[in-house]
Amino acid sequence: MVSRGLAPRLLGAHLSTSGGWEKMLARARTLGCRSVQIFASNPRGWSGTLITRASGKRYQALAPDFGVEALVVHAIYLVNLASPNPETAARSYRSVLSDLQAAGYLGARALVLHPGSDTGAGGGEERLVKALRRLRPQVPDGLRILLEGMASPPGRLGNLETLGRVIRAAGAHVGVCLDSAHLCAAGYALGEAADYRRFDRDVKRWIGYARIGCLHANDSRQPCGSHRDHHENLGEGFVGRAGLVRILAHPAVQQVPVILETPGFDNLGPDLKNMRRLRRYAG
């Protein structure tokens, strides 16, 4: 539970920017979001961001009027800085540079990206660290790159131990974004006291509370330990109410954006029912 007297939680959702800032922010206000996550460009293509400096200033001028205090940008799904394919690695690097620029224009708190995969060729961790170090001069002040924990089996990029090594080697400009559904799929049964304590020990050992910059609040459609990533609406999956209450109470996520990425009860994305459950579980 959050102690009385602390600032309200930065609870929010991933929202579409289709239709412009006003439409997105109006949706955020309807849902009661204090934080928002967006894609700066088509998440399934290499087209790059269309966000200009003027557009970013427009967003920053509007957001306070709609009650949005924190913005997170999510990199496109194609990004793979760990790839052994030089062309893929180069396109990924350029895409992250573009998103960093957009995030800077928008005054975003973080850029979340998937750690990628070496596709079995080995050396992915080293390539990822090298790329993140190279990106350091391009990271805007006040922003961190956050590597998202994935539903990865041991030995693959995306588990907490590997992410811990990567962020320590890369530098202070890199942190971690947790995802409750991915944690469940990776084998943490957060609703069980023993597994929650194991998760907490692993965060302390490998990551550190201060390096957690965002939480994706999702339930999991797949069983615990399945290593399969399928999001479910809050309270309807294998994380469950108990697991969500536990992770939302974790000290590492009290002051960071908490972002819904749920499919929605009408399959149209984060909705009021999920947001109401999020607020109830968080408080």
Q: What domains does the chain contain, in order, with CATH numbers?
A: 11-282 (3.20.20.150)
Cα angle for residues 75, 219, 173 (degrees, 5° grid): 35
pLDDT confidence of 7, banded at 50, 70, 90?
A: low
pLDDT digits (tens, 9 = 90+) for 94-114: 999 999 999 999 999 999 999
Q: Please determine, for residue 206, whether its predicted confidence score (pLDDT) is greater than 90.
A: yes
Q: What local confidence, expressed as pLDDT, does residue 67 receive?
A: 98
Q: What local confidence, expressed as pLDDT, does residue 193 receive?
A: 96
CA distances from 239 to 155, 183, 196, 221, 231 (A): 23, 9, 11, 9, 10
Q: What local confidence, expressed as pLDDT, does residue 155 receive?
A: 53
CA distances from 46 to 28, 90, 237, 268 (A): 27, 12, 33, 24
Average pLDDT of the residues of the chain: 94
pLDDT confidence of 142, banded at 50, 70, 90?
A: very high
pLDDT confidence of 3, banded at 50, 70, 90?
A: very low
**Distance, CA of 138 to CA of 260 (rounded, Å):** 28
